[in-house]
Chain A
Amino acid sequence: MSALQVTWFFLIGVLLVGYAILDGFDLGVGIWHLFTKTDKDRRTLLNAIGPVWDGNEVWLLTAGGAIFAAFPHVYATVFSGLYLALMLVLFALIFRAVSLEFRSKMPSPGWRKTWDVAFAVGSILPALLFGVAMGNILRGLPLSESKDFAGTFFGLLNPYALLIGLLGLAMFATHGATYIVLKTEGELAKRARGWAGKAWTAYLALFIVAVVATMITQPQLLANCKAMPFLWVVPVIALVAIVVTGVLTRKGQAGPAFVWSALSIAGLMAMCGTGIFPNVVPALNDPELSLTIMNASSSPLTLKVMLIVALIGMPLVLIYTAWVYRVFSGKVQLTADSY
């Protein structure tokens, strides 16, 4: 196990956390889209994410590229193994992207309604399936000697993975609702506070159920925590962040609630990371077949080169992304340029 391999496990975690937090609220907004009724409210929601969703989605593309570059066997096994599921995610993301852009181009209610549905489904499906995929990886995939996936599509729809899928959906719904509260005013903000409260209840409940289910059915995920007890701080942070998100939402402190919601997502992802490390894809059938950061990684030179690229590029990305968020901070105002 080299320091470079550990670093890349961590960096891909960072990219996935970045994606889950940033595009997470886009997906979350999409989850609530059909709960609004008027065209003005829907436009407000779309414009709340309008200037930033595309940049947010690049986190997913970059994470995909980074997995390909750093752990090619993981990329190959997972992407081919989860073929149908990923195709569904792709179709959904395609519809989400174009519906954002296409919807505003025509005033006709039928046209808008069509893209509203496409946007909502295109958001809900990935929000659910990302969690299902994560659940399957936590539980382990059936793998063959040649590092290939040896299971079936329906095998992926096991109760544990579906539970994690629902947890992910509740997480994105909570995150999206707190974002809507942050970006809107008046009646819409008030309703979004209601959504955030409901989603949060589900989020907390599913988190507790998932933790208990993991302790009972997936004890292998606790091995790292047992070996290094200070790692218990990770689930504690996640739990605290979830609770604080709910408290702050109730108090009406939209900004801090959103930050804590983001922190809870990071906490959950960190739990997944500490659970599987040093595996990247644990094998369900035989631990010996697991894809680890050792046997699935690229050569040291590639890892080094990519680390340099990331160290140069990502700080710049963070700087101009932060600047763009500042430019578009504040409540949504609909203008001639809006969706």
Chain B
Amino acid sequence: MDAVLLSRIQFGLTAGFHFIFPPLTIGMAWLILWIMTRYKNTGDAFYRNMARFWIKLFTVSFVVGVATGITMEFQFGTNWSNYSRYVGDIFGAPLAAEGILSFFLESTFLGVLIFGWGRVSRKTLWFASLMVAIGATLSAFWIIVANSWQQTPAGYVIRNGRAELTDFWAAVFNPSTVPRYLHVVDGCLMTGAFFVLGVSAWYLLKRRHIEFAQSSLRLALVLAFVSSVVQLPIGHYSGQQVARTQPEKLAAMEGIFKTQRRAPSLVFGVPDMKNEVVRAKIAIPGMLSWMAFGDVDAEVKGLEAFDKDMRPPMPYTFYTFRLMVMLGFGLIALTTLGLFLLWRKTLYGNRLFLRLALWSIPLPFIANEFGWFSAELGRQPWAVYHELLTSDAASPTVPAAQILFSIIMFSLIYSLLFAVWLFLIRREIQHGPEEEQATGGEAVAREVPA
């Protein structure tokens, strides 16, 4: 197999696996901050135990994110050295800034949040949880900056055979940075919220830790609802950016072969690549033109407007995008139902809802992955949109056999990590939060008052 394809497989595999964890921990970090705020203000052991339980689950997930994140930073150099030479003047800066301005903050204060109980005051613990949440969310910003620059490069000039920076802020706030950042961070909040929601629902189903579970469930439900609903305008905003700046990606996502006015939005369809038509489609006429450009008569470019070898791989981009959107609507429906039940005061006893909430835990993760697939596949065949082809970006000196070896090793190691992570998460959940009487006064006695 050729080295470029192998490097793509490896990057997809390692990035896809890594991307399971940061969304979860970023979302959870804000829920933990909320609980820590309650604990800081009340000093109530109930909130302390609640925070400590979620911090435990956070930590196990965080460490897998850290371990697999190192791979990401090395991989541009190991597998994509031509890319690194070409974009280093711009792409390296956000990665370094991520370390200096965000990741140090998150990692250092996480040490306090995990090990500081009994050593530092409640206020300091709260401050540490604030820094962890901010650090995590800022980390995502710099990573999205780097990735968005690949999608919609800006603030540079091609000089000395590479992209050179001319305007730092234009590169940082390139056309897709803000919509994509909001979209991803909101996806992170959803991931964390649905995780806490589902785990809490499980306790209620098992009739364990009732008070803890009800409190966590309510908190998570509110965040899950808000973040799911807010994703509608944010996702729309993100889609409009794609329409404006990456028309072939929009065409691939939406299944548009022919350039047309009154372009339809497809609820369902099966792209037939040979004949360049979408079969079995359920379409809303004019909807895409309206959503993309605010005008039902606006022209939407079809894939036919682009050379055959310059088109993104349509069926994958199309399906993954559609599945992400469907999952989003499903999650809105679920949380709306939850809020309705909460209002009717039947939420905690509604076993159907609790079961649905439990089984929804994986859905935001899957939506994240699909969204990422469609965003990155939609960028192909470019590594840097309209500047550098993916096929020209790989390392010229690394033999395919070595990449195959590392793919096999990554597959084995990551499978092991995933299995152990699932096992430990399940175990922690089954063990449940500390109950006040179980730990006795000892934990309280160790604590320094705020």
A interface list, Cβ under 8 A from B: 47, 50-52, 54-55, 57-58, 60-62, 64-73, 75-81, 83-84, 86-87, 90-91, 93-95, 97-98, 100-102, 105-106, 146-150, 153, 298-299, 301-302, 305-306, 309-310, 312-314, 317, 320-321, 324, 327-328, 335-338
Q: Does any Cβ of A come within 8 Å of B158's Cβ?
A: no
Q: Does any Cβ of A come within 8 Å of B13's Cβ?
A: no
A46 to B117, CA, bound (A): 17
Choose from A51, A75, A101, A105 the contact partner of B111 (Cβ within 8 Å): A51
CB distance from A169 to the nearest CB of B (A): 21
Q: Please state if B84 and A72 are interface contacts (CB–CB under 8 Å).
A: yes
Q: Please state if A69 and B95 are interface contacts (CB–CB under 8 Å).
A: yes
24 residue pairs from A and B, CB less than 8 Å apart:
A51-B116, A57-B70, A65-B98, A71-B88, A72-B87, A72-B88, A72-B92, A76-B82, A78-B77, A79-B76, A80-B396, A83-B395, A90-B74, A97-B70, A98-B420, A106-B427, A148-B397, A153-B402, A298-B92, A298-B165, A305-B168, A313-B97, A324-B108, A328-B115
In the complex where A69-B92, A83-B395 touch, is A54 in contact with B165 (Cβ < 8 A)? no
Q: Does any Cβ of A come within 8 Å of B218's Cβ?
A: no
B residues contacting the other copy or chain, number (CB 8 A): 74
Residue of B nearest to A324 (CB): B108
Residues of A within 8 A of B98 (CB): 65
Q: Please state if B104 and A321 are interface contacts (CB–CB under 8 Å).
A: yes
Residue of B nearest to A100 (CB): B63
Q: Please state if B99 and A62 are interface contacts (CB–CB under 8 Å).
A: yes
In the complex where A62-B99, A93-B67, A301-B168 touch, is A79 in contact with B92 (Cβ < 8 A)? no
Residues of A within 8 A of B165 (CB): 298-299, 301-302, 305
Choose from A68, A77, A78, A320 the contact partner of B108 (Cβ within 8 Å): A320
Residues of A within 8 A of B409 (CB): 87, 91
Choose from B120, B162, B168 the contact partner of A327 (Cβ within 8 Å): B120
Q: Please state if A65 and B67 are interface contacts (CB–CB under 8 Å).
A: no
Q: Please state if B88 and A69 are interface contacts (CB–CB under 8 Å).
A: yes
Choose from A98, A153, A314 the contact partner of B67 (Cβ within 8 Å): A98
Choose from B64, B93, B107, B166 the contact partner of A306 (Cβ within 8 Å): B93
Choose from B59, B67, B99 the contact partner of A58 (Cβ within 8 Å): B99
Q: Please state if A68 and B76 are interface contacts (CB–CB under 8 Å).
A: yes
Residues of A within 8 A of B78 (CB): 79-80, 83, 86-87
In the complex where A84-B402, A97-B63, A305-B93 touch, is A61 in contact with B88 (Cβ < 8 A)? no
In the complex where A68-B88, A90-B71, A310-B100 touch, is A328 in contact with B105 (Cβ < 8 A)? no
A98 to B61, CA, bound (A): 10
A335 to B445, CA, bound (A): 13
Choose from A61, A70, A77, A100 the contact partner of B81 (Cβ within 8 Å): A77
Residue of A nearest to B142 (CB): A65
A72 to B99, CA, bound (A): 17
A95 to B64, CA, bound (A): 10
A90 to B70, CA, bound (A): 7
A95 to B416, CA, bound (A): 11
Q: Does any Cβ of A come within 8 Å of B369's Cβ?
A: no
CB distance from A219 to the nearest CB of B (A): 29
Q: Please state if A298 and B88 are interface contacts (CB–CB under 8 Å).
A: yes
Q: Please state if B85 and A72 are interface contacts (CB–CB under 8 Å).
A: yes
Q: Please state if A69 and B107 are interface contacts (CB–CB under 8 Å).
A: no
A77 to B443, CA, bound (A): 53
Residue of B nearest to A56 (CB): B107
Q: Please state if B100 and A57 are interface contacts (CB–CB under 8 Å).
A: no
B interface list, Cβ under 8 A from A: 59-60, 63-64, 66-71, 73-74, 76-79, 81-82, 84-85, 87-93, 95-101, 103-105, 107-112, 114-120, 159, 162, 164-166, 168, 395-398, 402, 405-406, 409, 413, 417, 420, 424, 427-428, 439, 442-443, 446
Q: Please state if A102 and B424 are interface contacts (CB–CB under 8 Å).
A: yes
Choose from B100, B111, B118 the contact partner of A313 (Cβ within 8 Å): B100
Residues of B within 8 A of A93 (CB): 67, 70
In the complex where A65-B73, A81-B397, A94-B68 touch, is A299 in contact with B89 (Cβ < 8 A)? yes
Choose from B59, B63, B105, B424 the contact partner of A320 (Cβ within 8 Å): B105
A298 to B165, CA, bound (A): 9
Apart from A68-B91, A83-B395, A83-B402: 12 A-B pairs, beta carbons within 8 A: A65-B92, A68-B88, A68-B95, A69-B95, A76-B77, A77-B81, A80-B81, A87-B409, A302-B92, A302-B164, A321-B108, A328-B119
Q: Please state if B112 and A51 are interface contacts (CB–CB under 8 Å).
A: yes
In the complex where A72-B88, A148-B397, A301-B166 touch, is A55 in contact with B108 (Cβ < 8 A)? yes
In the complex where A69-B88, A69-B95, A91-B409 touch, is A62 in contact with B104 (Cβ < 8 A)? yes
Choose from B88, B114, B402 the contact partner of A51 (Cβ within 8 Å): B114
A310 to B413, CA, bound (A): 34
CB distance from A283 to the nearest CB of B (A): 14
Residues of B within 8 A of A76 (CB): 77, 81-82, 84-85, 88, 395
In the complex where A68-B95, A79-B77, A320-B108 touch, is A61 in contact with B424 (Cβ < 8 A)? no
Which of A50, A67, A68, A93 has the most chain B CB within a 10 Å cutoff?
A68
A33 to B95, CA, bound (A): 33
A250 to B224, CA, bound (A): 59
A324 to B109, CA, bound (A): 8
Choose from A64, A91, A302 the contact partner of B413 (Cβ within 8 Å): A91
